Amino acid sequence: MISLTLVSLALAAFANAATQLDIEAVEAHFSQALIVPALIPTFTPGAVLSLAFSGTDTPTGKALQKDAVASQPVVTVSALNASLTGNFTIAMVDADVVGTDYGSDGVNRHWLENSVTIASGTVTNTSATAITAYAGPGPASGSGPHRYVVILYAQPSTFSPPADLSAPVTGVNKFDLNAYVKDSGLGDIVAANYFTVEVGTDSTSLPATSAVVSSTLAPAASGGASGGASGGAPAGASGTSASSPGASSTDKPGAAMKSGVQTAAAFLVAGVVIALL
Ligand SMILES: *[C@@H]1O[C@H](CO)[C@@H](O)[C@H](O)[C@H]1NC(C)=O
Ligand SMILES: *[C@@H]1O[C@H](CO)[C@@H](O)[C@H](O)[C@H]1NC(C)=O
Ligand SMILES: *[C@@H]1O[C@H](CO)[C@@H](O)[C@H](O)[C@H]1NC(C)=O
């Protein structure tokens, strides 16, 4: 039996060597936030990816202010087993709010860099190609808490990017992430992390959905089994800056879809808590 206290201890220990429990906690976060399977069909990372914006480490799923994530984070990776060698591709996409149907439009690409390497656990770009240089989140005001997902893929020597995504300085735009991964021959997801950014107040005012988006294992751990679905309202997420750099998606899912997702998410939260007991 794994106690929930251990889970929170594990979450605090991301900066050190990853354990199986660290990995399972990230997997649980991604399922709970419905990033898996909506954006990422299957997710079995072998490492933990940590993001530090301006020197501050970011817990998985944390609600952050737009200004705090405007500059490229330092990315560190801690593997369960072997060392991380070779080339990797790092991507950050806007998975929008819970319930978004990406369809053929795909997701907004905020960062796409090929041939990064890992030196002493830190992602480095000395011989990398920044297809899309890091562009900080800029969700439309009132469009709810967007989930920004940072993913590190293994990049085998056979990697061959599509023509429209092979040159540097390709701006933020929608693309089909999974089609890109498949067509270019990228390998498995090594590690991933996410945070949320909300600008203004969600005009559809769906508090339960917001809670699911931002809830993490941490409130579940401290508040018992009932804390998961209701805890973790996006603290300080009501930013006042309404300016959008044009990097945002304005897609908004219908209320009916959100409602169904809330129900599904509630079951998932329950499942996560049970699975960890
Ligand atoms: C890590 O090593 C253990 C023991 O050798 C093995 O059972 C497990 O599958 C490995 N995990 C990964 C992600 O490679
Ligand atoms: C490499 O990363 C630094 C920040 O660590 C950034 O300023 C620079 O633009 C990046 N270069 C490329 C090619 O991505
Ligand atoms: C890694 O990327 C660099 C730069 O693109 C390339 O020269 C090198 O061959 C790659 N190594 C492997 C093992 O793919």
Joined together, the tokens standing for residue 249 give: 């998606």
258 vs 24 pLDDT, higher one: 24
Query: What average pLDDT does range 255-265 have in this prediction?
Result: 41
Task: Please state, as a whole number, how many other Cβ atoms lie within 10 Å of the Cβ of residue 51.
Answer: 24
Q: What element of type H or E holds 113?
A: strand 107-119
pLDDT computed for residue 95 by the predictor: 96
| Any atom of ligand 1 within 6 Å of the Cβ of 264 | no
pLDDT computed for residue 146 by the predictor: 96
Residue 163 and residue 206: Cα distance in Å, rounded?
41
Closest C-alpha among 66, 43, 244 to residue 148: 66
Closest C-alpha among 36, 8, 12 to residue 192: 36
Domain that holds residue 176: 4-276
| Any atom of ligand 3 within 6 Å of the Cβ of 224 | no
When mean pLDDT is compared across 25-39, 94-108, 175-189, the lowest value belongs to: 94-108
| Any atom of ligand 2 within 6 Å of the Cβ of 113 | yes
Residue 243 and residue 248: Cα distance in Å, rounded?
10
The per-residue pLDDT for range 245-258, each reduced to its tens digit, is: 333 333 333 333 44
Confidence check: pLDDT of 14 > 50: no
Residue 26 and residue 47: Cα distance in Å, rounded?
10
When mean pLDDT is compared across 39-48, 172-181, 230-239, the lowest value belongs to: 230-239
- Residue where the block lists tokens 């993913």: 151
Ligand nearest to the CA of 22: 1
Confidence check: pLDDT of 122 > 60: yes
| Any atom of ligand 2 within 6 Å of the Cβ of 48 | no
Distance 164 CA to ligand 2 centre (A): 21
- Sign for the CA dihedral angle at 161, 167, 169, 171 comes to negative
Residue 248 and residue 145: Cα distance in Å, rounded?
12
| Any atom of ligand 3 within 6 Å of the Cβ of 85 | no
State the total domains in the chain: 1
pLDDT computed for residue 204 by the predictor: 62
Confidence check: pLDDT of 209 > 70: no
| Any atom of ligand 3 within 6 Å of the Cβ of 185 | no
pTM assigned to the model: 0.74
Q: What is the CATH number of the domain that holds 220?
A: 3.90.280.10
Pairing assessment for the beta strands 63-64 and 189-197 based on DSSP bridges: parallel
The per-residue pLDDT for range 152-165, each reduced to its tens digit, is: 999 999 999 999 99
Distance 268 CA to ligand 1 centre (A): 26
For the purposes of burial, counting CB atoms within 10 Å of the CB of 201, is it exposed (0-12), middle (13-18) or buried (19 or more)? middle
Confidence class of residue 203 from pLDDT cuts 50, 70 and 90?
A: low
When mean pLDDT is compared across 35-49, 94-108, 139-153, the lowest value belongs to: 94-108
**Dihedral angle computed from the Cα positions of residues 179, 180, 184 and 190, in that order, rounded to the nearest 10 degrees:** -100
Q: Round to the nearest angstrom and report the end-to-end CA distance of the chain.
A: 6
Distance 161 CA to ligand 3 centre (A): 13
pLDDT computed for residue 77 by the predictor: 97
Length of the chain counted residue by residue:
277
Q: Closest ligand 2 atom to the C-alpha of 74?
A: 5
Could you say which DSSP state residue 93 is in?
Answer: E
Pairing assessment for the beta strands 146-154 and 63-64 based on DSSP bridges: unpaired
Closest C-alpha among 235, 101, 103, 246 to residue 173: 246
Tell me which residue has its CA closest to atom 1 in ligand 2.
125
| Any atom of ligand 3 within 6 Å of the Cβ of 86 | yes
- From 75, 87, 125, mutation site for ligand 2 pocket: most ligand atoms within 8 A of C-beta: 125
Residue 207 and residue 12: Cα distance in Å, rounded?
27
pLDDT computed for residue 16 by the predictor: 58
Separation in Å, CA 236 to CA 11, 52, 199, 239: 21, 19, 10, 7
Pairing assessment for the beta strands 129-132 and 74-79 based on DSSP bridges: unpaired
Tell me which residue has its CA closest to atom 9 in ligand 3.
157
